[in-house]
Chain A
Amino acid sequence: MTDPSSPVITAVDVHMSFGDNVVLDGLELTVEQGSVFALLGPNGAGKTTMVRILATLLEADHGTIRVAGHDVVREADAVRAAIGVTGQFSAIDDLLTGRENLALMADLHHLPRVPSRARVDQLLERFELADAANRIAMTYSGGMRRRLDLAMTLIGAPQVIFLDEPTTGLDPRSRRTVWEIVESLVGDGTTVFLTTQYLEEADRLADRVAILDQGRLVAEGSAQELKRRIPGGRIDLHFADTDAQLVAADALGMPVPDHDSPSLQIPTDGNVATLRRALRDLDEARVDVVDLAIHTPDLDDVFFALTGRDARAAEWRTGEELYR
Chain B
Amino acid sequence: MTSTYALRDSTTMLRRDLRHLQRYPGLSLFPILTPVILLLVFVYVFGGTLGDGITIGGGRGAYVDFLTPGMLVLTVVGAAQITAISVAKDMTEGIIARFKTMRIWRPAVLAGHVFSSLILTLISLAVTIAVALLIGYHSAAGPLRWLAAVGVLVLLAVALIWLSVALGLVAKSVETASNLPMFLILLPFLSSAFVPVASMPAGLRWFAENQPFTPITNAVRSLFADQHVGSAGVKAIVWCLAITAASYLWASYLYNRRPVR
Q: Using CB atoms and an 8 Å cutoff, list the residues of chain A in contact with chain B.
A: 18, 55-59, 77-78, 80-81, 83-85, 87, 89-96, 100, 104, 107-110, 136, 152, 156, 322-324
Whether the pair B95, A92 counts as a contact (CB closer than 8 A) is: yes
Q: In the complex, what distance in Å separates the CA atom of A96 from the CA atom of B95?
A: 12
B24 at the interface (CB under 8 A from A): yes
Contact (Cβ within 8 A) A108 B9: yes
Contact A91-B97, Cβ < 8 Å, known A77-B103, A324-B261: yes
Partner of A81, one of B8, B97, B103: B103
The residue from A18, A59, A83, A94 contacting B101, defined by CB atoms under 8 A apart: A83
Q: Is the CB of B103 within 8 A of A87?
A: no
> How far, in angstroms, from A77 to B103 measured CA to CA in the complex?
5
Find out whether the CB atom of B95 lies under 8 angstroms from the CB atom of A93. Answer: yes
Q: Known interface pairs A18-B261, A100-B19. Does A91 touch B98 (Cβ–Cβ under 8 Å)?
A: yes
Give the residues in chain B near A59, CB-CB below 8 Å. Answer: 258
| In the complex, number of A-B residue pairs with CB atoms less than 8 Å apart | 73
Assess the B259–A324 pair: CB atoms within 8 A: yes
Contact of B94 among A81, A84, A91, A156 (CB under 8 A): A91
- Is the interface on chain B under 10, 10 to 19, 20 to 34, or 35 or more residues? 20 to 34
Among residues of A, the one whose C-beta sits closest to the C-beta of B21 is A95
Q: Does B12 contact A (CB under 8 A)?
A: yes
Shortest distance in angstroms between B56's beta carbon and chain A's nearest beta carbon? 53
Smallest beta-carbon distance A102→chain B, Å = 12
Please give me the residue from chain A that is nearest to B106 by CB atom: A77
CB contacts under 8 Å to A, within B86-105, are 93-104
- Residues of B69-99 at the interface with A, using a CB-CB cut-off of 8 Å, are 93-99
Q: Closest 8 interchain pairs by CB?
A: A91-B94, A323-B97, A91-B98, A80-B103, A81-B103, A323-B94, A107-B12, A85-B101
Give chain B nearest CB distance to A43 CB in angstroms. Answer: 15
Q: Within residues 113 to 135 of chain B, which ones have a CB less than 8 A from any CB in chain A?
A: none
Q: How far is the CA of A94 from the CA of B23 in the complex (A)?
A: 10
Taking CB atoms, residues of chain B closer than 8 Å to A57 are 97, 100-101, 259
B5 on the interface (CB 8 Å rule)?
yes
Pairwise interchain contact A95-B23, C-beta atoms closer than 8 A: yes
A85 to B9: give the CA distance in the assembly, Å: 19
Tell me, rounded to whole Å, the shortest Cβ–Cβ distance linking A93 to chain B: 5
Enumerate chain A residues within 8 angstroms of B258, measured Cβ to Cβ: 58-59
Nearest chain A CB to B146 CB, angstrom units: 36
Contact of B16 with A58 in the complex, beta carbons under 8 Å: no
Q: How far is the CB of B118 from chain A (nearest CB, A)?
A: 20
A80 touches B19 (CB 8 A): no
Kindly identify which residue among A80, A109, A156, A323 contacts B96, using a CB–CB cutoff of 8 Å: A323
Contacts A80-B102, A108-B9: A91 and B95 contacting too (C-beta < 8 A)? yes
| A27: min CB distance to chain B, Å | 18
Min CB distance A144 to B, Å, is 15
B104-A96 in contact (CB<8A): no
A322 cross-chain contacts in B, Cβ below 8 A? 94, 97
> In chain A, what residue has the closest Cβ to B258?
A59
Min CB–CB distance A149 → chain B (angstroms): 8
Interchain nearest-CB distance for B86 vs A (Å)? 10
CA distance A242 to B1 in the complex (A): 77
Verify if B260 is at the interface (C-beta below 8 Å from A): yes
Nearest Cβ on chain A to B256's Cβ, whole angstroms = 12
Closest B residue, CB atoms, query A106? B12
Interface flags, B1-32, vs A, CB<8A=1, else 0: 11001001100100010011001100000000
CB distance A109 to B102 under 8 Å? yes
